[in-house]
Amino acid sequence: MQAVMKDVLTALLMGLVLPTCLLNTAVMVLEQFPEEAPEETAVSTAPSPAVPMTLLLPSGDREQQDLESYLVGVVLAEMPASFESEALKAQAVVARTYTRKAGATGGKHGDGSLCTDSGCCQAYITPEEYLGKGGTREGLEKVRGAVSATAGMVLTYQGELIEATYFSSSGGRTEDAAAVWGTDYPYLQAVDSPGEEKAAYYRDMVSFSPEAFQEALGVSLDGSPETWFGMTAYTEGGGVASMEIGGTVYQGTQLRALLGLRSTAFTAEAADGEITFTTRGYGHRVGMSQYGADAMAVGGSTYGQILSHYYPGTELTRMD
């Protein structure tokens, strides 16, 4: 009987002690090798360093600005705030890329500065000027949101910043860079750009008297105006590559400059004592069409898809 009682007491003791030992051991193992405890990562709450840029004012003075603040002014001036947010984001990315490229290469002014002339660099307006000219607080915040949502994002091709050119509207198809500037870029090729019909200068017409036309070209032509025009060659983007007038061959870009045409996508007609040029689109038509970008955004495209369409082969890259 005593032996039986001894065995019972031993079993009870082991039942109390052994689980406690096993539990303590398990706790020690978990402390050394936590099963799912992630390694803590220090997260900095400090803002990213501001990227400076130099704004060349109409007065000739140079003003240092933070890049992201400057871009708000560019987007306000370059694209209607009423455009879709994805189009505004695309505009912010190309404007940022253009600015960073100028800073890296010297740009058109040689020192990396950018002026406020859209025909040279990029248009720019301060938020105060925007509001003073009838802009809305809602539009301003919408543009600020587009710049903030794409902060640091630029377009690159094979690791290099691209020539991020853009313009108002193409008239249905953009142009090759080679056809306008004589330099070929694999990402600046002619692409379709539908949905631009709401653009202010989707179609435009300008007429000249025969005398005014000859004066603009700096020539004196014989015969009636109907006989002045010869062969016309077109580019891949539907622009005029060359046009024969009075036996002289002019480049499409040359005629656009001499006659003040909206674009190189034009036709000419001499009738009823006038010479009429009908143009499609507004601008050099190379790169991103702003009205085309908005049309794509209305159709549901993201800013990344818009940029991939107008700059094929490029990549969105974050550049701090």
Q: How confident is the model at residue 49 (pLDDT cuts 50, 70, 90)?
A: low
Q: How confident is the model at residue 141 (pLDDT cuts 50, 70, 90)?
A: very high
Question: Does residue 227 register a pLDDT over 70?
Answer: yes
Mean pLDDT, residues 12-30 taken together: 37
- What pLDDT is attached to residue 43? 31
Mean pLDDT, residues 307-319 taken together: 97
Q: How confident is the model at residue 131 (pLDDT cuts 50, 70, 90)?
A: very high
* Pair of tokens at residue 74: 């560019």
Quote the CA–CA distance of 311 and 304 in Å, as a whole number. Answer: 10
Provide the whole-model pTM. Answer: 0.83
Quote the CA–CA distance of 277 and 268 in Å, as a whole number. Answer: 5
Bridge partner list, 205: 278
Mean pLDDT, residues 152-161 taken together: 97
**Radius of gyration (C-alpha) of the chain in whole angstroms:** 32
Mean pLDDT, residues 85-102 taken together: 98
- What pLDDT is attached to residue 70? 97
* Pair of tokens at residue 290: 């702003």
> Tokens 């007491």 — which residue?
9
Quote the CA–CA distance of 301 and 85 in Å, as a whole number. Answer: 11
- What pLDDT is attached to residue 123? 97
Question: Does residue 216 register a pLDDT over 90?
Answer: yes
* Pair of tokens at residue 150: 């794409």
Which residues have CB under 8 Å from 304's CB, separation 6+? 316
- What pLDDT is attached to residue 50? 81
% pLDDT > 70, the chain: 85
Backbone angles phi, psi at 301, to 5 degrees: -75, 145
